[in-house]
């Protein structure tokens, strides 16, 4: 049979429910901090993806009716070749 000392927590004068409450608050704070960091990372990843998709769409001149730099260079390439032959 176990003695009372082996069965109980060390005597600190602080009620066990208060110790558990403080431990729970500490864990909750750590979880909240991790959640905020994770959300921040997700926001950065989403922003990078959007930037890359926009760059790719612009390069392929998809959407918006705008002419991209790569499209202009593609259109000018045959003209440059002709001008090169004329010289």
Q: pLDDT (tens digit, 9 = 90+) per residue, 61-86?
A: 666 666 677 777 787 888 888 777 77
Q: pLDDT (tens digit, 9 = 90+) per residue, 15-73?
A: 888 989 999 999 999 999 999 998 888 888 888 888 888 888 777 766 666 667 777 77
User: In this model, does residue 2 exceed pLDDT 60?
Assistant: no
- What is the pTM for the complete model shown? 0.46
Q: In whole angstroms, what is the distance from residue 49 CA to residue 1 CA? A: 63
Identify the domain containing residue 41 by its residue range.
29-87
- In this structure, is residue 4 part of a structural domain? no
Q: What total number of domains does the chain contain?
A: 1
The beta-strand segments (E) located in 1-87 are: none
- In this structure, is residue 3 part of a structural domain? no
């Amino acid at each position: 049979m176990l003695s009372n000392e082996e069965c109980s927590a060390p005597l600190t004068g602080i009620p066990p429910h208060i110790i558990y409450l403080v431990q729970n608050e500490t864990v909750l704070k750590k979880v909240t901090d991790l959640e905020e960091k994770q959300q921040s990372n997700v926001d950065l990843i989403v922003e990078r993806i959007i930037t890359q998709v926009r760059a790719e769409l612009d390069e392929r001149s998809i959407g918006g009716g705008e002419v991209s730099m790569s499209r202009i260079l593609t259109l000018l390439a045959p003209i440059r070749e002709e001008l090169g032959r004329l010289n």
